[in-house]
Amino acid sequence: MKKGDIRISYVIGGVVAVFVLVAVIYFLANSGGNLSKYIDWIIPRKNETKGGVAGIEIFRYDIAGGNAGYYDGTKWMVFEEIIVGGKKINAESLKKDFENYYFGERKESIIPIGYLLSNFYQIIKDKSGKSLPQEAVDYLIEKSVGETGKKESELKVNAIIGGEDISSSGNVAINLADEEGKIINNAGYFNLRLDNTLEFHYTYFFYDSNLEKNQKKESIELSYSEGSKIADISNGAKKWRDSVLEKPIFVNYIRKEGKVEKSCSGQYAAMLKDNKYIVVDLGKLVGEEKCSG
């Protein structure tokens, strides 16, 4: 084939391709087809601001998953930016607002137990009713006596929740402390999980058949009845964890009024849903809204 023929073939191919593309666009435009949908499929438009459903301004934060979602009246959906009620909400900004709110510091809390140390370890049982290994009890008592300088027969324990942040998974660590509120050891502590199950984590040393010293770390899910000291620890930790919901959350957004945009922060009520979501309705302002710009 001659070079001139090759050029002509390219030209004819290009003309045909353009003709087909024009025909497809004409067909979609005149047959009720959603042209923008097909264009978006071919060339996705990132960071597009979506419009929400009128009258619905409900958002949530998945504590364990670490993401924000919007409720459109039938389902929860992910978004990058969305406009509802004259507010432009950015998902990343909203996520930070939720995290600053929920994972922030709470005041230290002491849950009274008043048990002698050795007696207290005897009431810790797993879901099957099994007690702690005696080697673990002996080590935890030995370590506590060494840390506090008190005799075993004098050491009464309470539970204490520090003012540190909740873990990123939403779990709450509860330590054992003496009557003055000093942590008695770091080898045994409770953990309230996001689903409200209570665990006990403990570390101890034991000697194997070769008389070599080995460390062992264990955790058990606890069994307890309402009204027991273990239930007091669980309920106290839940109250401490959820105390943040007693105050409003500050949410940042862009207030749109025609072509004018202002950076705003409003106070809203937050609530815990299904033990794993923080939900807020931005249609219900409970405090002041401050704007600038």
Residue 149 region by backbone torsions, left for phi larger than 0, else alpha for psi between -120 and 50, else beta: left
Identify whether the C-beta of residue 193 lies closer than 8 Å to the C-beta of residue 122: no
Q: Both 10 and 116 in a single domain?
A: no
**How many structural domains does the chain have?**
3
Query: What's the predicted TM-score (pTM) here?
Result: 0.76
Three-state SS for 136?
helix
Identify whether the C-beta of residue 60 lies closer than 8 Å to the C-beta of residue 273: yes
Q: Both 233 and 115 in a single domain?
A: yes
Q: Which token pair is 215?
A: 């460390």
Which residues sit opposite 68 in a β-bridge?
61
Write down the pLDDT at residue 207: 72
Range of the domain at 159: 109-244
Q: Is residue 236 part of a domain?
A: yes
Q: What is the DSSP letter of 216?
A: E
Burial of 132 (0-12, 13-18, 19+ CB in 10 A): buried
| Residue given tokens 């058990």 in the structure block | 220
Query: b or e along 160-192 (b: 16 or more beta carbons within 10 Å of the residue's beta carbon)?
Result: bbbeeebeeebbbebbbbbeeeeebbebbbbbb
Q: Both 172 and 212 in a single domain?
A: yes
The mean pLDDT values, 10 residues at a time, for the chain of 293 residues are 48 53 50 42 48 91 95 95 95 97 90 91 93 93 92 92 82 93 92 96 82 86 94 95 94 90 96 95 96 86
Q: Is residue 230 part of a domain?
A: yes
